[in-house]
Structure 1
Amino acid sequence: MTSPLEIISAALRRERTRAGLTLSELAKRAGVAKSTLSQLESGSGNPSVETLWALGLALGVPFSRLVEQRAPQIRVVRAGETMLIRSEHSPFAAAMISACPSGARRDLHLIEAQPGNARRAEGHLPGTVEHLLITAGRLRAGPEEAQVELAPGDYASFAGDVPHTYEALEPDTTAVLLMEHV
């Protein structure tokens, strides 16, 4: 079993690294001594509630993220277990693989497409970027004025906040689409 100090130590290191802060920067922002923070991260400190609240605030995370043990998780979505949602106007279907969890800014989709009419998408939320990785077949995709042809293993990213298209160039084209919402 992991001790509370080990949980706090690991959480502080993880969140400080995620925030891209040095020990000195975090200590200054939180108003705690650098030596105190160093002890906490090494698992030898004895934090007060006030210190942990100040560190959580400086890191932009809730108090609970610093004191709760994170259970190792793996989520598996087996092929064929997703619900494909089909386009009305083109031989295109997408399945949500992973929805954007609270606080995150991305959605993950699996795309299946057949040759025929191109799937035209209006622009999404401002700042959206689409990341596309082709797994089988060939696909033409991108903003209407800057489309590219992609083959298996090819990756492209493009602005998703402008009109864009997806068009299968071979039967049974599949791709992974990550929509990043800024």
Structure 2
Amino acid sequence: MTSQRAGQVLGVNLRERREALGISLSELARRSGIAKGTLSQLESGSGNPTIETVFSLSNALDVPVSSLLTEQADPDVVVVRSADLEVLSGEAVDLRLLRRIEHGGAVVEVYDQRVRPGVVQESAGHPGFEHTAVVTGTLRVTVHGRVHEIGPGDYVRFRAGTPHQYAAVDGEVRSVLLLEHPAE
């Protein structure tokens, strides 16, 4: 999906969810901490959201991130090309949403995650659980003040609702991030 197409998908999904909840742009701005003008640009498909913006919207609208970033089609065979993906960039992390999987009311989002060295990615927390499997490099994950270092082939899972951090220990880290939103 091209950057322009990804922005259009976000705009459509953002507006549909906001309208389904019956809230105004002003109310969404209040809930998300994002300026009303920025929200208007995003809904029109002309904005350029960061990871923090998309996660704030996810929290404010009480939906998984993938609900905002993916088209609502589910063909029998899905091939995702890296070159076609929009990259959400934060201070230290680049995310590419590979797939949203719905099963039994639960949602799992699959991301290609790259963590750049020398900077810490802070998260204030969001709904669900994070599952990370490291492919290359060493990733430092801090949750509840406890530091965990995971390397190639290692895996970590934690409740994502509390503040947490990601940092590359030495060089870029490539990993697969699954965000799990259990059925209610």
TM-score, normalization by structure 1: 0.53
SS at match of 1:147: strand
Q: Output one character per residue of 1:139-162: Cα deviation in whole Å (capped at 9) or x when no partner.
A: 101414122101111011011010
Partner of 1:118: 120
Greater C-alpha radius of gyration: 1
Segments of 5+ residues of structure 2 without an aligned counterpart are 1-73
CA distance in 2, matches of 1:80, 1:112: 15
**Consecutive aligned runs of 4 or more in structure 1 exceeding 2 Å deviation:** 71-74, 78-81, 99-104
Q: Supply the RMSD in Å over aligned alpha carbons.
A: 2.2
> Could you tell me how far 1:91 is from its partner in structure 2?
2.7
Could you tell me whether the CA contact under 8 Å between 1:111 and 1:175 is conserved in 2? yes
Matching residue's letter, 1:95? R
Partner of 2:175: 175
Segments of 5+ residues of structure 1 without an aligned counterpart are 1-70
Higher strand share: 2
The number of residues matched between the two structures is: 108
Matching residue's letter, 2:106? A
Matching residue's letter, 1:119? Q
Worse-matched range after superposition: 97-106 or 158-167: 97-106
CA distance in 1, matches of 2:178, 2:120: 19
Partner of 1:108: 110
Partner of 2:152: 152
SS at match of 1:171: coil
Alignment of 1:25-174 (within 5 A): 73-87=76-90, 90-101=91-102, 103-125=105-127, 128-174=128-174
Alignment of 1:12-31 (within 5 A): none
TM-score, normalization by structure 2: 0.53
> Could you tell me how far 1:113 is from its partner in structure 2?
1.3
Could you tell me whether the CA contact under 8 Å between 1:113 and 1:167 is conserved in 2? yes
Matching residue's letter, 2:87? L
Q: Output one character per residue of 1:41-76: Cα deviation in whole Å (capped at 9) or x when no partner.
A: xxxxxxxxxxxxxxxxxxxxxxxxxxxxxx982312
Could you tell me whether the CA contact under 8 Å between 1:142 and 1:158 is conserved in 2? no
Identity of aligned residues (%): 28
Could you tell me whether the CA contact under 8 Å between 2:100 and 2:107 is conserved in 1? no
> Could you tell me how far 1:100 is from its partner in structure 2?
4.8
Q: 1:144 to 1:81 in 2, by over 3 A?
A: farther
